[in-house]
């Protein structure tokens, strides 16, 4: 199922789903302590999170 979903260029998550994901794991949360030094552009600029 994942492979099929990743191949679909029109696949988009709804704002409700994205909001729920953000509630569970807030933007900027580091799950890997080795990555704590890197700040992705979409974290630094919230406008980049949703296209």
11-49 pLDDT, tens digit per residue, is 888 999 999 999 999 988 888 878 778 888 888 888 887
The C-alpha atoms of residue 17 and residue 13 are separated, in whole angstroms, by 6
Q: What is the pLDDT of residue 51?
A: 63
State which residues form the domain around 14.
2-48
Tally the domains of the chain.
1
Give me the pLDDT at residue 21, please: 93
Q: Work out the angle at residue 43's Cα, subtended by the Cα atoms of residues 7 and 27, and round it to the nearest 5 degrees.
A: 75
Instruction: For CA atoms 38, 43, 45, 51, give the dihedral sign.
Output: positive
* Neighbouring C-alpha atoms within 13 Å toward the C-beta of 8: 9
Residue 8 has what pLDDT?
79
Say what the pLDDT of residue 37 is.
80
């Amino acid at each position: 199922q994942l492979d099929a979903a990743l191949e679909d260029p029109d696949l988009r998550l709804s704002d409700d789903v994205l909001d729920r994901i953000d509630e569970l794991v807030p933007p900027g949360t580091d799950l890997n302590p080795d990555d704590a030094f890197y700040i992705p552009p979409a974290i630094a600029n919230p406008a980049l999170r949703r296209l």
